[in-house]
């Protein structure tokens, strides 16, 4: 029951007026960026990072994690009301959620998603709090070879497995690795790729990279499209009635929430680039289960016409990833999503290294953070359950002010973090890079993961090789490393087979289409 005592101390810290205020600011901001399409919690944390440098770290991290959780609550609102997912984590919700709204059940869909997100957030945070001891035990067994394997896993999972094109994902990864190598090499002291520019000796600032790629890149991408095509105002569905679920709805939603948790919890701890995979897996499972039930004659298959399970399961899965992602970040120092990667950078800013030692050295911060996640989840439920239609009104903000404001914040943050105009020119270059990547559908998450884990991967690789005295076999010694590499190989093989199959099907379809013609 040591955990309960620690968590109690955490609650005492989290419930101080100051920390409650940071949590509130975080959840409001997180919900807002979640609701707005194109903006996400990763961009919000990247913009907040430099301006909160002067804050007490506990308050700052409470705000960052609240933004992260808030983003996963807010993203479903516009999915349901307008069929416009606020983030990729809410695409699966949009499929059935919007159908429910069209049938006049918008309030029920919003309630199902808000409660599902709440269940996911609370359960996953509890899992992390009560299993933190186990996570630390595992982490303590990790040496250089294991950490390198973990970094390779994160690199390949985000770039080769999740990205829609393996080549584009790996290009993103290599761009990130090359950005990470700029500066003085910490082990030998050699200057690498600095072109003799003094401000590059310390490397490219992570703040400039994240703000450039996520914020300015997004602004430029929207700018390149804003005068093309429609104004983007899709009809907002009016909600009627109370957001309460009937007993019949609950009997269907509760099992779906629990099944959603089953997908979200493990995937949050795996560096697979966020919550998209578990939401789609949860959605697919619910659809198959519904077909199965229909075949047995129990209930008609409602999928395609607004099935409540299709909203409940993906939402619970999405927010369950947030908790376990925080667990992997705090316990192992392993970022499993773009937002977690930026938070890892934030820890480094404050001179802290997430990992097993964090629970010893900064125990106050860790437990206050975990406790505030419960507090934040309750705040989010209150903010989202009755007020979801109000949040959708955020879309009425004129886009020119929204993006002008983001640009202003981007330059402010980058300048304030370095007080150097050189960083602003670098910001422009990285913004153009971010625009190019969006334009050609090259994923951004692998760049962030590579920039942040790149130095760690290189250090651990060289350390492992030095320990093994140049023997490459040292990288594959021990059951943990072999296990990690086996999982990577399996995942890559699985995706390659799936791709080949879909390519063959495309070709077959093209041939039949030709023969018809």
Q: According to CB under 8 A, which residues from 65 to 84 bind other proteins?
A: 83-84
Distance in Å, CB of 195 to other proteins, minimum: 8
Distance in Å, CB of 250 to other proteins, minimum: 26
Q: Which of 207, 272, 254 is nearest to 443 (CA)?
A: 272
Q: According to CB under 8 A, which residues from 433 to 462 bind other proteins?
A: 435-436, 439-443, 458, 461-462
Cβ atoms of residues 331 and 357 within 8 Å = no
Binding-site string for other proteins from residue 458 to residue 497, where x marks contact by CB under 8 A and - marks none: x--xx--xx--xx-----------------------xx--
Distance in Å, CB of 115 to other proteins, minimum: 23
Comparison of 299 and 505: residue with beta carbon closer to other proteins: 505
What is d(CA 110, CA 238) in angstroms, rounded to the nearest whole number? Answer: 12
Q: According to CB under 8 A, which residues from 142 to 181 bind other proteins?
A: 161-165, 167-168, 170-171, 174-175, 177-178, 181
3-class DSSP assignment, residue 166: helix
Q: According to CB under 8 A, which residues from 85 to 104 bind other proteins?
A: 85, 87-88, 90-91, 94-95
> Running DSSP on this structure, what letter comes out for residue 192?
E
Comparison of 348 and 420: residue with beta carbon closer to other proteins: 420
Cβ atoms of residues 354 and 333 within 8 Å = yes
Interface size with other proteins, residues (CB under 8 A): 104
Cβ atoms of residues 172 and 444 within 8 Å = yes
Q: Which of 88, 149, 473 is nearest to 157 (CA)?
A: 149
Comparison of 293 and 399: residue with beta carbon closer to other proteins: 399
Q: According to CB under 8 A, which residues from 282 to 341 bind other proteins?
A: 283-284
Choice from 135, 136, 216, 341 touching other proteins (CB under 8 A): 216
Comparison of 35 and 128: residue with beta carbon closer to other proteins: 35
Distance in Å, CB of 11 to other proteins, minimum: 27
Q: According to CB under 8 A, which residues from 349 to 408 bind other proteins?
A: 399-401, 403-405, 407-408
Choice from 351, 396, 479, 513 touching other proteins (CB under 8 A): 513
Comparison of 253 and 456: residue with beta carbon closer to other proteins: 456
Cβ atoms of residues 273 and 448 within 8 Å = no
Distance in Å, CB of 481 to other proteins, minimum: 17
The reply to whether 505 sits near other proteins by the rule CB under 8 A is yes
Q: According to CB under 8 A, which residues from 230 to 259 bind other proteins?
A: 230, 232, 234
Residue whose pair of structure tokens reads 């990992």 in the numeric block: 355
Residue whose pair of structure tokens reads 């989840």 in the numeric block: 377
Binding-site string for other proteins from residue 255 to residue 284, where x marks contact by CB under 8 A and - marks none: ---------------------xx--xx-xx
Ranges of H-type helices in 203-354: 206-210, 217-226, 247-268, 276-295, 309-332, 338-349
Q: Which residues pair with 192 in a beta bridge?
A: 183
Torsion sign (Cα): 61, 62, 67, 70: positive
Cβ atoms of residues 266 and 324 within 8 Å = yes
Cβ atoms of residues 265 and 324 within 8 Å = yes
The reply to whether 229 sits near other proteins by the rule CB under 8 A is yes
The reply to whether 220 sits near other proteins by the rule CB under 8 A is yes
Choice from 193, 201, 244, 476 touching other proteins (CB under 8 A): 193
Give the Å distances, CA to CA, from 58 to 63, 64, 133, 136, 282: 9, 10, 21, 21, 34
The reply to whether 185 sits near other proteins by the rule CB under 8 A is yes
Which range in 145-153, 227-235, 355-363, 481-489 contacts other proteins by CB under 8 A? 227-235
Separate counts of helices (H) and strands (E) for the chain? 21, 2
Residue whose pair of structure tokens reads 């980058």 in the numeric block: 414
Distance in Å, CB of 296 to other proteins, minimum: 23
- Residue 206: Cβ within 10 Å count: 23
- Contacts with 124 (C-beta within 8 Å, 6 or more apart), sequence order: 261, 264, 265, 268, 319, 320, 321, 322, 323, 324, 327
Distance in Å, CB of 49 to other proteins, minimum: 13
Q: Which residues pair with 191 in a beta bridge?
A: 184
Cβ atoms of residues 249 and 307 within 8 Å = no
The reply to whether 214 sits near other proteins by the rule CB under 8 A is no
Comparison of 133 and 304: residue with beta carbon closer to other proteins: 304
Distance in Å, CB of 6 to other proteins, minimum: 31
């Amino acid at each position: 029951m040591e955990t309960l005592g620690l968590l109690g101390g955490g609650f005492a810290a989290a419930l101080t007026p100051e920390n409650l205020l940071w949590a509130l600011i975080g959840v409001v901001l997180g919900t807002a960026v979640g609701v707005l399409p194109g903006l996400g919690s990763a961009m919000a944390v990247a913009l907040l990072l430099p301006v909160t440098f002067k804050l007490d770290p506990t308050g700052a991290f409470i705000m960052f994690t609240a933004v992260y959780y808030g983003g996963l609550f807010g993203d479903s609102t516009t999915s349901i009301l307008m069929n416009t997912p606020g983030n990729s984590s809410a695409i699966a919700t949009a499929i059935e959620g919007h159908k429910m709204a069209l049938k006049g059940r918008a309030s029920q869909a919003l309630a199902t998603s808000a409660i599902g997100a709440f269940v996911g957030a609370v359960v996953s945070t509890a899992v992390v709090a009560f299993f933190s001891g186990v996570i630390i035990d595992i982490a303590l067994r990790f040496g250089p070879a294991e950490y390198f394997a973990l970094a390779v896993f994160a690199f390949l999972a985000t770039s080769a497995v999740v990205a829609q094109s393996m080549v584009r994902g790996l290009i993103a990864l290599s761009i990130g690795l090359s950005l990470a190598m700029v500066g003085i090499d910490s082990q030998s002291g050699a200057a690498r790729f600095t072109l003799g520019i003094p401000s590059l000796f310390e490397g490219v600032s992570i703040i400039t990279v994240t703000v450039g790629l996520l914020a300015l890149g997004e602004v430029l991408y929207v700018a390149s499209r804003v005068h093309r095509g429609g104004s983007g105002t899709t009809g907002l569905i009016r909600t009627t009635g109370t957001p309460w679920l009937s007993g019949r709805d609950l009997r269907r939603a509760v099992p779906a929430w629990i099944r959603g948790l089953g997908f979200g919890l493990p995937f949050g701890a795996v560096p697979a680039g966020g919550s998209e995979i578990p939401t789609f897996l949860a959605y697919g499972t619910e659809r198959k289960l519904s077909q199965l039930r229909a075949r047995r004659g129990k209930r008609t298959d409602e999928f395609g016409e607004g099935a409540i399970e299709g909203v409940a399961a993906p939402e619970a899965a999405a927010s369950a990833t947030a908790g376990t992602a925080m667990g992997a970040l705090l316990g192992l120092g392993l970022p499993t999503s773009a937002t977690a990667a930026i938070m890892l950078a934030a820890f480094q800013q404050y001179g802290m290294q997430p990992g097993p030692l964090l629970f010893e050295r900064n125990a106050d911060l860790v437990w206050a953070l975990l406790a505030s996640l419960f507090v934040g989840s309750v705040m989010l439920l209150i903010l989202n359950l009755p007020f979801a239609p109000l949040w959708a009104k955020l879309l009425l903000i004129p886009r020119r002010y929204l993006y002008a404001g983001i640009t202003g914040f981007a330059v402010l943050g980058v300048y304030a973090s370095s007080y150097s105009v050189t960083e602003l020119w670098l910001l422009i270059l990285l913004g153009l890079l971010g625009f190019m990547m969006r334009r050609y559908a090259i994923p951004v998450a692998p760049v962030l993961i590579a920039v942040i884990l790149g130095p760690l991967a290189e250090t651990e690789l060289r350390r492992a090789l030095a320990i093994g005295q140049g023997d490459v076999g040292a990288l594959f010694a021990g059951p943990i490393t072999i296990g990690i590499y086996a999982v990577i190989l399996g995942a890559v093989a699985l995706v390659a087979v799936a791709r080949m199959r879909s390519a063959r099907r495309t070709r077959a379809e093209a041939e039949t289409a030709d023969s018809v013609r």
